[in-house]
Amino acid sequence: MKIISYGGGVQSTALLVLAAQGRIDYSTFLFANVGDDSEHPATLTYIREIAVPYAATAGLALQELHRRRRNGATETLMQRLTKPESRSIPIPVRMANGAPGRRNCTVDFKIKVVGRWLREHGATAQAPATVGIGISLDEIHRANRRRREPHEQIEYPLLDLRLRRDDCERIIAGAGLPIPPKSSCFFCPFRTVDAWRYQRENEPDLFARSVQLERAINVRRTALGRDPAYLTRFGRPLDEAIDIQPSAKDSDAGDGTCDSGWCMT
């Protein structure tokens, strides 16, 4: 069994094109959707309106997966974050001392979701599935940070082909497809300052929802007697931390995207 973990961004869409062209031997692509209320809407639109039809035309399967509870109900990351009785935060919020909190979102809502599908389709520790991840040559440092499950064997087709992100963009454009937006949860604390500023200026509804989420998290933390936590590294509420006008102190080299199929880990 061979699958690509599809994130909806540039690198994993390049893998989709390469598979359609017969340059890599994969026919199944799995997109673990953390929730329509959590994924960036532009990513969902690209996947459903561009990537899925393209895959179908090429004879490839691009399946959308969701986290399921034991009773069969689906659970989104936003639902987990806003659950009144929850005592933990599964996204890497910044604590009062500036340190990032625990990050369970990637494992619970992407890796385990894909892993469950693999096991249901026959993958075992004795017969592991091959899982292709879209890490490109310019981010090779990420290749050994990915959590590895017993029922899977990880491959990096873009590294094998010595392809960088700009190569991926050329491959996508050469296939006649638009370049996908960077994929991530719209409230991800790994978003850059510029990305937050763009959201505030151009996606005010998403920014308002991010502010609301941060406030809800801190209402619960206050009730538990805990220090506040924030979606940025500035140690203050999002709507105060993100100014429209950039400044030198805003320099931020982070990149909270899930383009390759797994979040950065």
Backbone angles phi, psi at 29, to 5 degrees: -120, 130
How confident is residue 265, by pLDDT bands cut at 50, 70 and 90?
A: very low
Q: Where are the alpha helices (DSSP H) in the chain?
A: 10-20, 41-46, 52-57, 77-81, 105-106, 112-120, 157-160, 165-174, 193-202, 204-223, 238-241
Tell me: pLDDT of 137 over 80: yes
Tell me: pLDDT of 19 over 70: yes
Q: Is the CATH number of domain 2-250 2.60.40?
A: no
Ramachandran category for residue 98: left, alpha or beta (phi over 0 → left; psi -120 to 50 → alpha): left
Residue-wise pLDDT tens digits, 141-187: 888 656 678 899 999 999 999 999 999 999 999 999 999 998 899 99
Q: List all residues 6 or more positions away from 217 whose beta carbon is below 8 Å from its beta carbon.
A: 81, 89, 93, 229
Residue spans of the domains in the chain: they are: 2-250
3-class secondary-structure state, position 31: strand
N-term to C-term CA, the chain: 25
Task: Answer with the residue of higher pLDDT: 22 or 88.
Answer: 22
How confident is residue 264, by pLDDT bands cut at 50, 70 and 90?
A: very low
Q: List all residues 6 or more positions away from 179 whose beta carbon is below 8 Å from its beta carbon.
A: 10, 169, 172, 173
In the prediction, which pLDDT does 244 show? 64
Q: Please count the other Cβ atoms lying within 10 Å of the Cβ belonging to residue 69.
A: 8
Supply the pTM of this predicted model: 0.90
From 51, 229, 28, 189, select the one nearest 123 (Cα to Cα). 28
The pLDDT > 70 percentage for the chain reads: 90
Q: What is the dihedral of CA 231, 6, 53, 20, to 10 degrees?
A: 150
Retrieve residue 10's tokens. 């540039």
Task: Give one DSSP letter per residue of 12-23, joined into a string.
Answer: HHHHHHHHHTTS
